[in-house]
Amino acid sequence: MTNSRTAHAAAAEAESASFMKDFLALIKIGIVNSNVITAFAGFFLAIQFAGGHFLDELDLLFYVVIGSSLIVAGSAAMNNLIDRDIDPVMSRTKSRPTVTGRFKAPTVFAMSVIFLLIGEILLFSASTTAGLWGIAGIFSYVVLYSMWSKRKHVSNTIVGSISGAIPPLIGWAAVEPALGPGAWALFLIMFAWQPPHFYAIAMRRTEEYRAAGIPMLPVVKGFARTKKSMLAWVLVLFPLPFLLPQLGWPFIVLATALNAGWLFIALKGFRAEDDIKWATSMFVYSLNYMTILFVSMIIFAVII
């Protein structure tokens, strides 16, 4: 009897773990986390630049963090629902719960709508502008990217970069609805960072995208053109730290050093013998770049 109960408990625990893994895959928890970090950065910098006190705005922080988490999670779930016909073709997406059937389409749709509605209620509780930017982010990701450009236009990555650049505006708008120059600096940094990051992924998965009929830049234009585009976007990043003079010269020097490092790797791509290996190095650097840059923004905002 004891062994039977133990086995039953172990099976229930495994089922619970499997369900949670599928749920986190459904809402794309990695994307949720990264977007919340940039939303928090916008929120924190807006307070610091305005001379406010972080501890006095904990209610707004709750609205921003939970609200932005829910709208990103809801949008990601809707994206999975939309892409369930092409995801089986790609190895990195064929195990998504919308493909395996773990989450049925009506359930995903209902969950997505609930997340989006609750998230928007929270963002509008922070400020009307934050709520409106939340709607803009949802529309740009679900409609402009997922439903329109992803399967039709080679510029789909650029279109998708709009939604990825909006979270800092949401965080900033909760504190300063008018949005100062710093908010737009964060938007531009996030917008310019995304193409080389996602082109690196596309190069590594070119044949999968080709099989799925997704017109990613490496599929349509080839690797040589993709490398040039990645280099161009890295160069666009160079002047953007100068739009945040409030963070001081140490931040600008650090950001410029990060940009120089990415430029060095981008230039190496034109002589790379293994394009996939090079694309992987670009991808890894992009992740470290964004983590270091945004963490340093918060640190320098405190010590200036």
Give how far the C-alpha of residue 53 lies from the chain's centroid of Cα atoms, to the nearest Å: 28
For the chain, which residues make up each domain, given as ranges?
19-179, 181-304
Tell the residue number behind the tokens 């930017």, with chain if given.
133
19-179 is classed CATH 3.30.565.10: no
- Alpha-carbon distance 233 to 193, whole Å? 7
Report pLDDT for 151.
95
53, with CB counted inside 10 A (0-12, 13-18, 19+), is exposed
Q: Are 233 and 290 in contact (CB under 8 A)?
A: no
- Which 3 state secondary structure label does DSSP give 149? helix
How does pLDDT run across 219-272, given as a tens digit for each residue? 999 999 999 999 999 999 999 999 999 999 999 999 999 999 999 999 999 999
pLDDT at 13: 60
Structure tokens at 94: 């064929």
Q: Which token pair is 215?
A: 């017109």
What is the structure's pLDDT at 4?
60
Closest CA to 18 of 84, 10, 8, 110: 10
**CA–CA distance, 55 with 303 (Å, rounded to integer):** 16
State how far the Cα of 265 lies from the Cα of 269, in Å rounded to an integer: 7
Q: What does the pLDDT read at residue 5? A: 62
Question: Burial of 163 by CB count in 10 Å (0-12 exposed, 13-18 middle, 19+ buried)?
Answer: buried
pLDDT in tens, 121-130: 999 999 999 9
Show the low-confidence residues of the chain (pLDDT under 70). 1-16
The reported pLDDT for the residue numbered 27 is 93
User: What is the DSSP secondary structure assignment for residue 102, as one 8-state letter?
Assistant: S
